[in-house]
Amino acid sequence: MDFTDVSLTALRVLRAVAEQGTFTAAAASLGYTQSAVSRQIASVERAAGATLLERRRDGVRLTAAGRVVMRRATVVLNEIDATARELSDMPGPGGTVRLGWLPSAGTTLVPYALAALRTSDPHVRVVSREGTTPALARALRAGSIDIALLASAPPFRAPDDESQPLALETLTERALCLAVPAAHPLARGEFVDVADLRGQQWIAASPSGTDRLMGVWPGLDERPEIVHTARDWLAKLHLVAAGCGLTTVPAGLAAAAPPGVRVLPVRGGPQEQRRLLLARLPGPSAEPVVRLAAALRTAALGATSGP
């Protein structure tokens, strides 16, 4: 089988596996069975005469040959997708940008940036999706999004370990804060002392025992008592408003806190900084991507200079 005979379907499946990180997740995203995904990957590898995916315990990643195929396949698939959009008269004259964003960025920054972009560049069409930092980094590598908003915490490592680093720009760097029920004793002051966090109940994004307890103050010298878990930021904040526990929030999310919640700094320990990164593949970007990036920078500057 010659590589020129590879089907577009097989290339789309390869992109989905590279983006999702597992065959199972790729199958779910495409609406295929896992065996169908495996067959498509096998056909691409036969045509390439090389192993394109390294199977590991924590999922899969592209091999050197896989990165070559994925880089070329992304160009082809993007051109096919662009042609389909033009034929169906979907895009405006400015073109389409595919944006990936973190839930916390989608609460405030992204809506402000998109509203401004509709005024300044009404012909730029933005389609977006929510995701975690690892998933969005994979999506950038796979070519299924053009630009992404990622999170970074100390020691501020790159979002992945691929040999060609992503182009990263820090939009904001702000302290992590604590969301406290307004009726809670800790809400009486203008800050919370880290020593007072012992023995508190927490609302986290993942249950106790997982590697990363988002929502629990980092570095607690005790096993935290997690009483509720929720991935949605607004759900966590409403649980705080109901008096169900405490949770951490980026400082930029304070404006989205519902009534009954106080967002306060924490003192007495190391400062917990969080960065919001604008990420792209290295190299020049299309004009619509440049315009969206500018709108995101402006929105982030407004959020940083606000109260």
How far is 214 from 249, CA to CA, in rounded Å?
9
Q: Enter the pTM of the model.
A: 0.68
Residue 23 vs residues 33, 50, 57, 159, 241: alpha-carbon distances, Å: 9, 18, 12, 21, 40
Q: Are 108 and 256 in contact (CB under 8 A)?
A: yes
For helices 133-142 and 64-87, give the axis angle rounded to 10 degrees.
Answer: 80
For 100-109, what is the mean pLDDT? 86
Kindly state the helix (H) or strand (E) to which residue 287 belongs, with its residue range: helix 287-305
Interval 33-44 mean pLDDT: 91
Contact 245, 203 (CB under 8 A): yes
Q: CA–CA distance from 53 to each of 18, 21, 48, 79, 301 (Å)?
A: 8, 10, 12, 24, 40
Q: 133-191 pLDDT, tens per residue?
A: 999 999 999 999 999 999 998 888 899 888 889 999 999 988 899 999 999 999 999 99
Other CB atoms within 10 Å distance of the CB of residue 213: 20
* 190 CB-near residues (< 8 Å, 6+ apart): 264
Lowest mean pLDDT among 76-85, 105-114, 151-160, 256-265: 76-85
Distance CA 241, CA 257 (A): 9
Cis peptide before 218 (omega within 30 of 0): no
